[in-house]
Amino acid sequence: MAKTGTTTQGLRAAIERSGYYPALVAEAVESAVGGEPVSSYLVHQETTFDSNEVRRHVTVLVLTDTRFIVSHTDEQPADGTSPSPYATTSTESVKLERISSVVLSRVVANPESYTPGTLPREVVLTIGWGAVSRLDMEPANCGDPNCEADHGYTGSLTADDLSLRVSEAGDGPDTVRQALAFAQALSEATAATTGTR
């Protein structure tokens, strides 16, 4: 379940409502936020199926006046390093001026009859700040179907530090609305920092 809001208490309540190791997740997130006021947040729990196992994952996104904080928590089964199941949690704090892109992809049913304000069927929020990039390469060509010359390669470099997908069918309409609200708040915050550089 995703939640968005503007208070540290609201963030804590959203983490607790997710039901996913709330004490562990809240401690990690609150430690990363420190004393800064929370401008917006999004808590998203995802369940995946891996062979015979069900695994849960929670992502917490937090926006303050100066930083974007992302936290991931995953549960792991017992393995060679641990005789019992365990969880790993990590947080990353990014200065707002480092965020290079905020991409919001919307999937809309029946686009020919779309009415402004209609909720998308799903949204994918992709945020880039330069920590991870994806390079897609393919052979270059000149357009001549009979040409056999080597034209090298062409490609594109895409910032892809975080990608989060929420859907109305899987997460509910409130979650989609909340993801849209967080994306807007983050876009506005990064635009404001761009003007002060």
Confidence class for position 78, pLDDT limits 50, 70, 90: confident
Q: What is the mean pLDDT of the chain?
A: 86
Whether the pLDDT of residue 180 is over 70: the answer is: yes
pLDDT tens-digit series, residues 112-153: 999 999 999 999 999 988 765 566 677 778 878 888 888 787
Residues in the chain: 197
Q: What is the pLDDT of residue 195?
A: 55
- Backbone φ and ψ of 27, nearest 5°: -60, -45
Q: C-alpha dihedral over 23, 29, 35, 38, to 10 degrees?
A: -110
pTM score, two decimals? 0.80
Whether the pLDDT of residue 26 is over 60: the answer is: yes
Confidence class for position 77, pLDDT limits 50, 70, 90: confident
Q: What is the pLDDT of residue 156?
A: 65
- List of residues 6+ apart from 42 with CB closer than 8 A: 2, 3, 4, 59, 60, 61, 164, 178, 179, 182
Confidence class for position 3, pLDDT limits 50, 70, 90: very low
Q: Which sequence spans correspond to the domains of the chain?
A: 1-96
